[in-house]
Amino acid sequence: MIKKIKESAEFLQREGMVAPEVGIILGTGLGSLVQNVKVEKTIDYERIPHFPVSTVEFHTGKLIYGELGGKKVLVMNGRFHFYEGYSLQEITFPVRVMKMLGIHTLLVSNAAGAVNLDLKKASLMIIDDHINMLPGNPLVGRNLDELGPRFPDMSRPYDPELITHMEKIAADKKIPLQKGVYVAWIGPSLETRAEYRFIKTMGADVVGMSTVPEVIVANHMGMRVAAVSVITDTCDPDNLVPIDIDDVLNNARIAEKDLVFLFGQLIQEM
């Protein structure tokens, strides 16, 4: 695996993606941050050696290199999900490559449904902690000692300083921003009423189908991580209505402005 990571990283360096500092993974429907990047190079995932091979539904995957907030950033516009059939190792491979390129800080966004009904649709939630309910862990298997420890600590997987910093940015701009726990669910089917009750009982505020594998691997390699969920739907088991995907995407679109500002400002002030 180390050899593959190096080959991917060397390919990207040859293509001009040199010395990025901050990595950004954009969630579904959250791609507009790219418009604020002074883009220097864009590469389709298909062209990158050892990147996961695309599934049919996956057409938008692009790696974007450029400048944002005065820093060199590497943006994954489109991520890999477990429900698409990728292994947890495949999903997290790009994060390995980011670290190899020198990235020290990873910012992650996702769309999520709120089981904590205090969270409003089209608002943002800082992820303070997570619960891994995916069937496995990307670190299972022989440990790559060159990259990180066998038993990486998970006492604070989301960097407390970055969290405080984002809270300050949001307060100054009067962006409503809560903090809570994200649980990663397999999908692609949405959750049943009974599952939403279970999710709430286990201590989660929001549920989604991504993020946790990437965050585990980033922590393994000692990267600083911050993650934000865009609340696209509320999951009230006592009043559950069928999911409206257009409404989900629309809420993502509404909240995206705040997310773009938050990440942009965070990078600039970092």
Taking the complex as a whole, the smallest distance from the CB of residue 126 to ligand HPA amounts, in Å, to: 17
**Which one, 154 or 245, has the nearer CB to ligand HPA?**
245
Taking the complex as a whole, the smallest distance from the CB of residue 60 to ligand HPA amounts, in Å, to: 17
**Which one, 111 or 177, has the nearer CB to ligand HPA?**
111
Spatial CA neighbour of 245 closest among 29, 34, 25, 57: 29
User: Rule CB under 6 A: which residues touch ligand HPA?
Assistant: 111-113, 185, 190-191, 207-209, 232-233, 235, 248
Contact by Cβ (8 Å): 182, 204: yes
**Which one, 207 or 228, has the nearer CB to ligand HPA?**
207
Taking the complex as a whole, the smallest distance from the CB of residue 113 to ligand HPA amounts, in Å, to: 2
Consecutive H or E run containing 78: none
Chain position whose Cβ is nearest to ligand HPA: 113
Q: DSSP string covering 92-119, please?
A: HHHHHHHHHTT--EEEEEEEEEESSTTS
Taking the complex as a whole, the smallest distance from the CB of residue 204 to ligand HPA amounts, in Å, to: 11
Strands 124-132 and 62-68: unpaired
**Which one, 105 or 232, has the nearer CB to ligand HPA?**
232
Spatial CA neighbour of 73 closest among 14, 25, 11: 25
